[in-house]
Amino acid sequence: MLVSTLLHAKGGDVAITRPDATVESVVARLKTEKVGALVVSDDGHRINGIVSERDVVRAIANNGCDALKRTAADIMTGDVITCGKDESVAELMRMMTEHRIRHLPVVEANVLCGIISIGDVVKNRVDELQHEADAMRDYIRTG
């Protein structure tokens, strides 16, 4: 299965924050949006970075409560690993495992067009396994 198929099923909405947003507002958005990461972008199309729950925890561990007054740009991961719509889900699993990340922004022609989370990948795999099990049961019943 390809990323384009996953995006078609889940939609291309991406939770975004501006680089100058405070960490406090980032935390509130993570909660409100019920997501584990926000893409940091000036314009909603180009990626400046990504800020995850993990980045927030590190910032608080390093700076205490003062971290909440810092900006998303101060704590974000700037070297963002992305994927394209034509990549396979198996490749996403490899990338997520290799880089120890849980979110992959999807980029086409250098423009953000979606995001895939580890939850999306796991759901896809569980659905595939269920389909295979159902097919096997049908084969055994009719065979």
**DSSP state, residue 65:** G
pLDDT value of position 70: 98
Q: How do residues 15-32 score in pLDDT, each as one tens digit?
A: 999 999 999 999 999 999
Listed in sequence order, the residues at least 6 apart from 59 whose beta carbon sits closer than 8 Å to its beta carbon are 23, 67, 70, 74, 75
pLDDT value of position 124: 82
Q: How far apart are CA 26 and CA 38, in angstroms?
A: 8
Report the CATH number at residue 82.
Answer: 3.10.580.10
- What's the distance, CA 40 to chain centroid? 12
Q: What percent of the chain has pLDDT over 70?
A: 99
Q: Which helix (H) or strand (E) holds 127?
A: helix 118-142
Q: Which domain holds residue 29?
A: 3-142
Our count of domains for the chain comes to 1
